[in-house]
Structure 1
Amino acid sequence: MTSFKRISDAGNLTGKVALVRVDFNVPMENGLVTDDTRLRAAVATVQTLRTQGAKVALLSHFGRPKGERVAEMSLAPIAGAFAKVLGANVSFVADCKGEHVKKAIADLQPAGVILLENTRFCKGEEKGDLELARQIAALGDIFVNDAFSAAHRRHVTTAVLAEIMPAYAGINMEEELSALDKALGRPERPVMAIVGGAKVSSKIDLLKHLVTKVDALAIGGGMANTFLFARGHSVGKSLCERDLVDTAREIEAIAKASGCDIILPRDVVVAKEFKAHAAHRVCGLDEVADDEMILDAGPQSVAILATAMDVAKTVVWNGPLGAFELEPFDKATVSAAKAAAARTKAGKLIAVAGGGDTVAAMHHAGVADDLTFISTAGGAFLEWMEGKPLPGVDALRS
């Protein structure tokens, strides 16, 4: 993290305008925010800037309007929702550039907060257009990026502004980068990765990269079936990408050459129907009937994972181990998550989890507050795990 400037490096901000990139792309229903996690994540940065006397102008995208003004994708309703979370007034202006926006910001009192309109209403945002960047930059004195979740895109407000303005990492961004550095950048070893999810095809780059970085890789979910099939086990009518058998074997070969231990299920939970509370049984890998599908890892597999966690100093987790949204096929994910949480709380493990279903799975297991860090970044978290450059992060480097 030493290569990133923080807000504390910005000096005296009294009367200055801070353009802050947040991620307010939140779920909404009937004009109301249904999950304010990302709004709450922005509070620390906004309050820090306000305390230092800065005016705060918030930049965010919402949905995919593709450069057009789409009424349903306006950020206007979110201004009120964020005001409640922040405990302070948040005004709104229906654009993100131009003299009228500049005036609206000028009219703010010191420590005032204003939310600008959806940045993706501007055609040049997703293209990283330099002229648009200059127009937005003219609104402020410094740029603060607090949206790691959007850092995998080189858009105007995620990267280009940082290239043409004094730029700093927000507190949420700083915490994310610090946690990720502990997880894979400069981790305490041994390092164990847990990767689940439905398909190998969606995580080929991730798996190939991880086996060169970690000491052990546990594979679960539907993608484990492809690896089991590649090893010659029957998987019945389970989700299985049979055309990726060679890819699975290639990943195992890279892992062997890199000294990474691949951990696959030793027993499985099978059912004939994909539905909650379907009749099910636990069986060995060579006992799956042709009309059965693997929906979860079995108790022996979870015990092996727990033992591997006892050896590890760091765990990075992405993806559930089974069909966790359907009881009772959530047992492996819940049990493994609780095992990781217990070791983390005991100070024996650094556990970082993130990406899509993983966040939901950790909340479902009731351990979201017990792990070292949970990233809500989704695509950016995955691309970071894959070892790919993140333009929004790279642009912040000193």
Structure 2
Amino acid sequence: MKFNRIEDLDLDGKVVLTRVDLNVPTDRGQVTDTTRIDKIVPTIRAIQDAGGKPVLLAHFGRPKGKNVPEMSLRQIVPALEEALGEKVTFAEEAVGGPAKRAVAAMHAGDVVLLENTRFYEGEEKNDPTFAASLAALADVYVNDAFSAAHRAHASTEGLSRLLPSAAGKLMETELDALNAALGEPVRPVVAVVGGAKVSTKLDLLANLIEKVDHLVIGGGMANTFLVAKGVAVGTSLAERDMAGTAKEILEKAARTSCAIHLPVDVVVAKEFREGAPSETVPVDACPEDAMILDAGPQTVEQINGVFATCKTLIWNGPLGAFEIKPFDAATNACAQEAARLTRDGLLTSVAGGGDTVAALNQAGVAGDFTFISTAGGAFLEWMEGKDLPGIAALADARQ
């Protein structure tokens, strides 16, 4: 996919509406995690270095088109100023007089933050009139919020149709990484998909089967596939009513020459709690009164063997109940091997999804993967092969 980057546009002296993700966790009006704020700093700096004046657009929470004081972006300003090391002017509205005055008063190097876009009904409706009101504030539009790109909102999609548009630095990095993983990957490609339920990842599995050479299935999802193959899983979490669908996926994988890898040994316990007595058994030897909570060491060896033969890895979801020891062992071991191969330049590794990020952090390898997406829903929809409105609009703007 081709799209404009900041360097492709003339920003000198221009007001640049910049869509960012400031939907950060707070406690009593104080930001508790600045990760998303820190990630937008390179884009703001790039705009300033090019002579542009960044005007930040963002949503916060779900006010549903109403002005909800506790969801005001004003509370984000101190953390944003600290990250940038400079003053940020806050406009009490996203459109209208306060926004126009704040933008008109800008000098080179200034940063303005507009109020929560979701305070306006026109935002989530992608209303052309609201989008035009936003566009009237600026000369150029930069989208740096991949995490919101799966929403066709005025600030994520509508503006790209009205102003010269480009991807911000964070968006650029995300798109380049995802293209390397699924768009034009170096083969062979392996995908790891874990999690609790097959039913929530049907579109994902269907798309990956046609795109990857190996598909490793773990977590509770694997149990449903085992049931489909006639393997008894005791009291394990499994969607037994999805067994037919799982069988269809296995059959489709065989037709597309995608090798599916399921556990060959498992760690079982009678209780789902930390430190519960457990044992490792062959996959077909789960006791009737026990549940599968992790993949076993033979499975880890098998998965790591697949990693060694591949050039690209996509990872979404843990291999076991990683939140509780000792059922994090398989996820940790495979993540650490993927990280080693990445450090050695043998593997391009891209991961995403809430549980995935938490699991890789727990394994101590998040910094070693080629790229980790924190975009959540947008990352999953991309993996599912769906068009993301915000991205499609950037691609159209390039043409």
Counterpart residue number, 2:8: 9
1:340 aligns with 2:344: no
> How far apart are residue 27 of structure 1 and its match?
1.2
Question: How far does the alpha carbon of each residue in 1:169-198 deviate from its partner, in whole angstroms, 9 at most, with x for none?
Answer: 001101100001100100000000000011
Is 1:323 aligned with 2:321?
yes
The Cα shift of 1:100 comes to 2.0
| Partner Cα distance (1:352, 1:100) in 2 | 42
The separation in 1 between residues aligned to 2:74 and 2:358, in whole angstroms, is: 27
- Residue 356 of structure 2 is matched in structure 1 by 358
Relative to the length of structure 2, the TM-score reads 0.98
**Shift of residue 164 of structure 1?**
1.1
Q: 2:55, 2:113 within 8 Å by CA — same for their partners in 1?
A: yes
Determine which of 55, 70, 73 is the counterpart of 1:72.
Answer: 70
CA RMSD of aligned residues (A): 0.9
Aligned residue in 2 for 1:36: 34
Instruction: Count residues in correspondence.
Output: 396
Residue 245 of structure 1, aligned match among 239, 243, 246: 243
Tell me by how many angstroms 1:32 deviates: 1.6
% same residue = 56
Q: Does residue 184 of structure 1 match 2:182?
A: yes
| Structure 1 residue corresponding to 2:94, chosen from 70, 93, 96 | 96
**Residue of structure 1 equivalent to 2:259:** 261
**How far does the alpha carbon of each residue in 1:219-244 deviate from its partner, in whole angstroms, 9 at most, with x for none?**
00111100011111111111100000
Distance in 2 between residues matched to 1:189 and 1:209, nearest whole Å:
17
Rounded Cα–Cα distance in structure 2 between residues aligned with 1:65 and 1:278: 43
Q: What is the Cα deviation at residue 77 of structure 1?
A: 1.0
Q: Distance in 2 between matches of 1:72 and 1:219?
A: 41
Structure 1: which amino acid aligns with 2:393? A
The within-5 A match list for 1:115-134 is 115-134=113-132
Which TM-score applies when normalising by structure 1? 0.98
Give 2:17's aligned residue.
19
* Alpha-carbon shift at residue 99 of structure 1 (Å): 2.4
Q: Over residues 60-84 of structure 1, what are the superposed CA-to-partner deviations in whole Å (9 max), with x where a residue is unaligned?
A: 1111111011122111111111111
Q: Which runs of 4+ in 1 moved over 6 A?
A: none
Deviates most, 107-116 or 343-352: 107-116
Deviation at 1:14, TM superposition (A): 2.8
Secondary structure in 2 matching 1:133: helix
Provide the secondary structure at the position in 2 that maps to 1:194: strand
Taking the aligned partners of 2:272 and 2:95, their CA distance within structure 1 comes to: 50
CA distance in 1, matches of 2:345, 2:12: 41
Deviation at 1:108, TM superposition (A): 2.0
Given candidates 292, 299, 302, the residue that maps to 2:300 is 302
Q: Larger deviation: 70-79 or 171-180?
A: 70-79
1:26 shift after superposition: 1.0
Structure 2 Cα separation of the partners of residues 267 and 261 of structure 1: 18
Mapping 1:102-251, distance limit 5 Å = 102-251=100-249
- Contact 1:14 1:110 survives alignment (8 Å): no
Q: Any conservation in 2 of the 1:314–1:351 contact (CA below 8 Å)?
A: yes
SS of residue in 2 equivalent to 1:329: coil
Matched, 1:81 2:79: yes
CA distance in 1, matches of 2:98, 2:73: 17
Whole-Å separation in 1 of the counterparts to 2:185 and 2:198? 26
Where does residue 272 of structure 1 map in the other structure? 270
Distance in structure 1 (CA, Å) of the matches to 2:183 and 2:278 = 41
| 2:148 partner amino acid | A
Instruction: Give the 3-state SS of the residue equivalent to 2:210 in structure 1.
Output: coil
Contact 1:22 1:146 in 2 (8 A): yes
The whole-number CA distance in structure 1 between the counterparts of 2:324 and 2:28 is: 27
- Greater displacement, 39-48 / 51-60: 51-60
TM superposition shift of 1:276: 1.4
Cα distance between partner residues in 2 of 1:9 and 1:30 = 41
The one-character-per-residue Cα deviations of 1:139-183 (angstroms, maximum 9, x if unpaired) are: 111000001111111000111100111100001101100001100
Q: Is the 8 A contact 1:43 1:86 kept in 2?
A: yes
Unaligned runs of 5+ in 1: none
- State the match for 1:286 in structure 2: 284
**Contact (CA 8 Å) 1:193, 1:210: kept in 2 or not?**
yes
Q: Retained in 1: the 8 A contact 2:92–2:98?
A: no
Instruction: Provide the C-alpha distance between the structure 2 equivalents of 1:389 and 1:84, rounded to a whole number of angstroms.
Output: 36
Distance 2:61 2:98 in 1: 24
The equivalent position to 2:380 in structure 1, one of 376, 382, 389, is 382
C-alpha displacement at 1:295, in angstroms? 0.9
Q: Following TM superposition, by how much is the alpha carbon of 1:31 offset from its aligned partner in structure 2, in angstroms?
A: 1.5
Q: Within 2, Cα distance between the matches of 1:49 and 1:301?
A: 48
What does the per-residue CA deviation read over 1:5-48, in whole Å, with 9 as the maximum and x for residues that have no partner?
A: 1110112x232110000011111122222211111110100011
The range that moved more, 101-110 or 191-200, is 101-110
